[in-house]
Amino acid sequence: MGVAMLHNVSRSCAPAATRWAVELKAWAIPPEILAQVTASPWDFPPGILERRADRSRGLDTPSTRMARETLPARGSVLDVGCGPGAASLPLTDRASALTGVDTDPQALQAFRNRAEAAGVKIATIEGRWPDVADRAPVSDVTVCNHVAYNVEELGSFARRLTEKTRARVVLELTLVHPRAYLNELWMHFHKLPRPSGPTADHAVAALEEAGLKAHRQNWTPCQPNTCSPPM
């Protein structure tokens, strides 16, 4: 698992951003394969994100620790691509307000239900970041877990995160594309080679090229309350 803390330093653009976008586009599934299915291959099984959110409050991950380090008591948290809230719910022991951004209204309702049960002030914004960034409040800390591989323009996406954050942005992503583990099955059943990138290395390069200073930390997911020290 890769974690990046982001800070603005300067602005530029060039090859790393292009590589990130091109390699992401290569993950597109051919229309003739999509025409054979009734559900999107990109969708998660029902309930999996909700269960992850419910388990998250018992986890102490490097991402959560990085966010908590700069979150003031009764501070505010912006969760972009929040789903049911796995990235921000662990911070409700310190935060007083959460704002969730997501394109899925059902995910936003699940997020609202869990945040209200945790006793914090809650706001939700339906839409895609950074299109809805102007509607989001400036917050003390921003978390954004497992969204990067859905974002072609990663630099501008992340810059808008930093502009809406007083203290720290924590961006969590897997070291390789989260569907890379299925590549052999795609070849076996469809004779379709799948990409090997982009990776977390490419993400850091694109962020730095966009003028963002990324402090990277790698770690291995583990069971609740058994996390070993980050690598």
**pLDDT value at position 222?**
62
- Give the whole-number percent of the chain exceeding pLDDT 70: 90
- pLDDT over 80 at 10, yes or no: no
**pTM of the prediction?**
0.87
Beta bridge partners of 3: 172, 217
Count CA within 13 A, CB hemisphere, residue 59.
18
- pLDDT over 70 at 120, yes or no: yes
Token pair, residue 57, equals 């409050």
- Looking at every residue in the chain, the average pLDDT score rounds to 89
**pLDDT value at position 231?**
32
For the stretch 180-223, pLDDT in tens is 999 999 999 999 999 999 999 999 999 999 999 999 999 987 65
Confidence category of residue 50, pLDDT binned at 50, 70, 90: confident
Nearest of 173, 202, 187, 221 to residue 5 by alpha carbon: 173
Q: Where are the domains of the chain?
A: 2-27+46-218
Confidence category of residue 13, pLDDT binned at 50, 70, 90: very low
**pLDDT value at position 221?**
77
**pLDDT value at position 3?**
52
Token pair, residue 150, equals 């859905």
Over residues 122-128, mean pLDDT: 98
Token pair, residue 171, equals 């961006």
- pLDDT over 60 at 176, yes or no: yes
Does the structural domain 2-27+46-218 have CATH classification 3.30.950.10?
A: no
- pLDDT over 60 at 130, yes or no: yes
**pLDDT value at position 41?**
77
Q: How many other C-beta atoms lie within 10 A of the C-beta of residue 159?
A: 21
- pLDDT over 60 at 1, yes or no: no
- pLDDT over 80 at 4, yes or no: no
Determine the Cα–Cα distance for residues 49 and 52; give it in Å rounded to an integer.
5
Over residues 109-134, mean pLDDT: 97
Non-local (6+) Cβ contacts of 186 within 8 A are 192, 193, 194
- pLDDT over 90 at 48, yes or no: no
- pLDDT over 90 at 55, yes or no: no
Beta bridge partners of 215: 5
Nearest of 178, 204, 182, 169 to residue 52 by alpha carbon: 178
